[in-house]
Structure formats: C-alpha cells, structure tokens
Amino acid sequence: MGRKMDKHMKNEIIMRLLKAVSVIGNTALFMLYFYFSSPTLRQIDKHLIPYILFTLIFFVILIWLVRVYNSFEIGGRKIYELIYSLTLSSAIASGIMYVVQAAFLHKIPNLLILLGAFAAEFICNIIWVLLAHKIYFKLYKAKKTVVIYRSGADLQKLSEIGSLSNKFEVVKYIENPEEIHSLIEEIGECEAVFIAGVSATLRNGIIKYCVEKNIPAYIEPKIGDILMSGAKHMQMFSVPILRVRHSVPDPFYLFVKRALDIIFSLIGIIVTSPVMLVMAVAIKAYDGGPVFYRQTRLTKDGKEFQLIKFRTMRVDAEKDGIARLASENDDRILPVMRAARKLRFDEFGNFFCILSGAMTIVGPRPERPEIAKQYGETLPAFALRLQVKAGLTGYAQIYGKYNTEPYDKLQMDLMYINDMSLSCDIGLMFATVKILFMPESTEGIKEGQITAKKENIEAPKELAAVSEEK
C-alpha cells in the first residue's frame, strides 16, 4: 500500500508540474504581447508595478478559467476537448486583459499583436495537450474496473465509460447483486468501482469497503443523495445532526444577483441587438409569421410567466395540441433558424424576461406546465426545481443536453440549488460560453418521443453481452 501511495504521489507531482508549465507558458506569451503592444510600458524599470500587476491579474484569471472549463482533466476528456477548453481559457483571459489594457492606456492597443499572441497560445496549447496526454497514460495505466448495476437502464447511464477505455478497463459487470459478502469476493483486487441503481444499504456497504481498501468508487447518485449533499452540519445534541430544508438564499446574495441580472440583461440586449435584427428579418422574410414566440413557462414556486424567444419553428408546430420537445432532424424547425437554434441565439429574447424579473441569468431551465406535469406523474420530486427562479443558463443546461433525462436534469438543478453563490453563478456564466460551439448540447430527442423521458431503455448490446459472460 505504501509503495502504491509513493508512486501515486510521484505521478501527481509530475502532472502538477506539467500543468504549471502550461499556465506559466501562457502567462509568458501574454507578457510578450503586453510588452510589444504597449510602447509606453517597454521601459520596464519605470513601469514595473503596472507590468507586474497586469501579469498577476492575467495569471489569476487564467487559473480560474482553467478550473471553470476543466481544462486540465487529462485522461478524462478527449484531446480536442482539452485543446478547446485550454485555448478558450487563454483567449478569454487575453480578451479581458485587452479591455483592461485599453482602459489603462486610454487607447485601443494593436489588435494584430493580440491575434498573433492568441495564435501562439493556440499552437502551444496543442503541443502541451498532446505531450501531457502521452505522459499521463505512461504514468497511469487503465484501472481494472468493476461495474455494479441493478438494471439495463442503470447500465445505460454508465455506457459512456466505453469512451474512457484508456482510463478504465472494465473487467466485470455485476447485475443486481443481493448481498455484500459475495459481492466483495467478486470485486476482488479491482482498481475502480462504478455503482448505479443498487439499493442504498448495499451501496453503502460497497462504499465502506472501497474506502477501506483505497479503491476509487464512482456512484450514480439518487435525489436524496443530492439533497443531503447540501445539508448543514449542526451540533445541537450529543450526536451529529444534518439539517436539510427548502432553499433559503442569503438576502445579500439575492440583491446582488438581481442587480447583475439587470446589468447583464441590458448589456445582452444592446450587444446582441444586431444579431436579433438579422434573425427578425430572416424569420419575417421566410414565412411572414411572428418574429417572437411566447410560451407559458414555470418559475419559482410554480408561478407562470410568458417566455420570449425568437421563433425557430413553423407557426403550426403544435397544431395537434400536444406539447413536445424538438426531435433530431425535426422538420418543424425553420431552415433559416437552424444554425441560430444550434448556437442558442433564439434564447436572446430571454433577456427581456430577465430584465422584467420573471427569470434570472443562472437558474434551472424554465419548463412548460404541460411537460412538467408529465414528468411529475412519475417523478414527483421534479417540482423541487421550483425552489428558485428559472434561469437562462444553469448547471443542467451546461452539463446536460437538451435530451437529457428529466431525472438527471433534476439532480443537476438540485446540485446548483445546493451550491448557489455569486462565484458559482459567475463560473456558470463563463462555462456557458464553452457550450455555445458544442453541437451535442442541443441534441434533440429521438423521433417518436414527446418529452425527454425515455421508456423501456435497454442496455447496449455489447455491454449486455459482457455482463452475461460474468
């Protein structure tokens, strides 16, 4: 055990040094840009303080963005995702500092130098990611992994483990185990365990065993687990107590959040007005129908409001009177708005709802009453999302997909509700920028579905086959 820990510590130090090289390298490129783009500051001996200050600000912003975009998740993400995340982090940090620099110098710095620095950062990031990826998998071999699940639907939720075969080598699938003792024997000397859908008692026994044996355990949580994660530790009696209650945000936080909503919605309306004008003309020219689409949605405490979006579908999209989500290759979507929908530009109309106070920038997605009712029939806890005001972006919108199961969306929304804070909101706002150019985030539901709820899910054939061989 001690030798394993020493090796793990050594590997961690190597990876941390690699990450430091990336941050320092990007900061060095910014310093060069700042030097060549600011003639008045080239005499560093006379302007040392602003030079150091600007560098430190860039350094701090870059580290924060790298964390927001998970840019250093080597082994857990595809190479192109890492390059995209790291480049986006350095690009946004450089862009912010470009604005700060312009304000400091009272003039617009040379944009070509900034673009040159960005190109250099992009090339360096590609080289770094390829090198770090190669080193990571030399240091860390694929862990022999056991997947424990209750049913095919639970196994389906873990199907993405197949895309991480370099990190997890699944050696055994265990379906619907009954008791802990025989299960421990089957787990044996594995190096990682994934758990989905098993009973709480059995799951807790597996977790205790994994902690004792220093085996990483990855668990698909239940609603109760998410609610408990936001519990407050209290020492009221001679035993530990956890308090779980309805969301009660701090009044100061709500005041600042509302102020930011007003400021950012006004900025959003002004900045996106040219795009909104183009979309309005395109929609009107295509079929002569209304530019905006108004629809009843739910917000805090189940209150209804009229959501405003740019119309992306035919006027008679729901002529049968049935509320349904968009499906893959949906022929109801207007050809002139298909690209705008993928980039979520149709959501720009939401800025007016935020300005009015019906919505907020960060919060659970506003759901239609009809669809929420359908979800609530089989998932009563779905109403827990309505503890806070509905938002333009949020945890579920960023890390889930348009067609993500309602149960999983609810869990993500509850994670946000448990962790509501200004830093969390700002982080999610920046994280939203990343998904704008990721088409899978707007992937529609399957043909024939009405909502995102999937019925009769079966395990993938290749996984089921492995499971039967156990």
Predicted model pTM: 0.80
Distance CA 287, CA 201 (A): 59
Does residue 77 carry a pLDDT above 50? Answer: yes
321 pLDDT band, cuts 50/70/90, is low
> Which stretches of 284-381 are assigned E, i.e. beta strand?
292-298, 304-310, 360-362
Tell me the two tokens of residue 467: 């499971």
Lowest mean pLDDT among 127-141, 174-188, 308-322: 308-322
What is the pLDDT, as a whole number, of residue 320? 60
Does residue 318 carry a pLDDT above 70? Answer: no
Does residue 389 carry a pLDDT above 90? Answer: yes
What is the pLDDT, as a whole number, of residue 444? 44
What is the pLDDT, as a whole number, of residue 110? 83
What is the pLDDT, as a whole number, of residue 394? 92
Does residue 351 carry a pLDDT above 80? Answer: yes
Average pLDDT, the chain: 85
What is the pLDDT, as a whole number, of residue 450? 45
Does residue 297 carry a pLDDT above 50? Answer: yes
What is the pLDDT, as a whole number, of residue 340? 86
Asked if 308 and 295 count as a contact pair (C-beta separation under 8 A), the reply is no
The mean pLDDT of 278-305, rounded to a whole number, is: 92
